[in-house]
């Protein structure tokens, strides 16, 4: 028996990642696919690739559209939506804790909680209130976790994770990897799951 696995690469400050964070475990479970959560920092990659302010901020029309589209897609996915007052948020500390959580097995719960607080209660991701409330709700001791998140080995692990993201060709979030096959964007999650169940182009040769 081989286990079907999908890597879920995401940045906590990415707007469209909200949609995937909230639904990926349920969707993957339908196909017995295990999700490996891979938080990373997207901005260093964006900057290196020449998108110094990310994919939306420099383009007002595209940014306006993003908010409207997110509102529609959130409703379509059955998710609550309230446009956050802060954009983009600062996600370094959240990413470090997310990585720690991934190592210890509580990344899905932690990530859903910080995204929920950001997108429903306007408690900005990366802010202390958001982190404290998320950690407490999971029965974690915030002070202890924050200390661990600032240890050298956690910082280094996040740097390595981000380097790895760059090496495998990521340029956006959310991204899904099935082996060496990359899928980008919440609207490609279904394609990624399909590829995971039946790898190769063949699986796509159906009526669309």
Is the Cβ of residue 66 or residue 157 nearer to a copy of itself in the bound state? 66
Is the Cβ of residue 52 or residue 159 nearer to a copy of itself in the bound state? 52
**Residues 138 and 110: beta-carbon distance below 8 Å:** yes
At closest approach, how far in Å is the CB of 98 from a copy of itself? 23
* Residues near a copy of itself (CB under 8 A): 23, 49-51, 58-62, 64-65, 68-69, 71-73, 75-78, 169-172, 182-184, 187-188, 191, 201, 204-208
Cis before residue 106, ω within 30 degrees of 0? no
At closest approach, how far in Å is the CB of 58 from a copy of itself? 6
At closest approach, how far in Å is the CB of 61 from a copy of itself? 4
Is the Cβ of residue 152 or residue 206 nearer to a copy of itself in the bound state? 206
DSSP state for residue 184 in the 8-state scheme: E
Is the Cβ of residue 125 or residue 165 nearer to a copy of itself in the bound state? 165
Cis before residue 88, ω within 30 degrees of 0? yes
- The number of helix segments (H) and strand segments (E) in the chain equals 9, 4
Is the Cβ of residue 64 or residue 122 nearer to a copy of itself in the bound state? 64
Composition of the chain by helix, strand, coil, percent to 5: 55, 10, 35
Residue 4 φ then ψ, to 5°:
-85, 125
At closest approach, how far in Å is the CB of 53 from a copy of itself? 11
Contacts of 78 (CB under 8 A, 6+ apart): none
At closest approach, how far in Å is the CB of 63 from a copy of itself? 10
């Amino acid at each position: 028996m081989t286990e079907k696995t999908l890597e879920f690469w995401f940045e906590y400050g990415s707007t469209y990642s909200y949609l995937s964070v909230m639904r990926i475990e349920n969707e993957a479970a339908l196909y017995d696919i295990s999700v490996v959560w891979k938080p990373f920092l997207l901005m260093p990659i964006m900057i290196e690739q020449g998108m110094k302010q990310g994919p939306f901020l420099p383009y007002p029309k595209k940014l306006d559209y993003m908010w409207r589209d997110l509102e529609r897609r959130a409703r379509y996915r059955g998710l609550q939506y309230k446009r956050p007052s802060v954009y983009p948020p600062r996600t370094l500390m959240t990413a470090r804790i997310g990585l720690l959580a991934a190592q210890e097995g509580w990344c899905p719960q932690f990530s859903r909680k910080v995204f929920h607080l950001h997108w429903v209660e306007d408690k900005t991701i990366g802010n202390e209130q958001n982190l404290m409330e998320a950690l407490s709700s999971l029965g974690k001791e915030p002070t202890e976790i924050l200390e661990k998140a600032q240890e050298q080995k956690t910082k280094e692990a996040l740097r390595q994770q981000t380097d790895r993201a760059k090496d495998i060709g990521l340029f956006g979030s959310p991204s899904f990897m099935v082996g060496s096959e990359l899928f980008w964007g919440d609207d490609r999650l279904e394609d990624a799951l399909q590829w995971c169940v039946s790898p190769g182009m063949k699986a796509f040769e159906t009526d669309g």
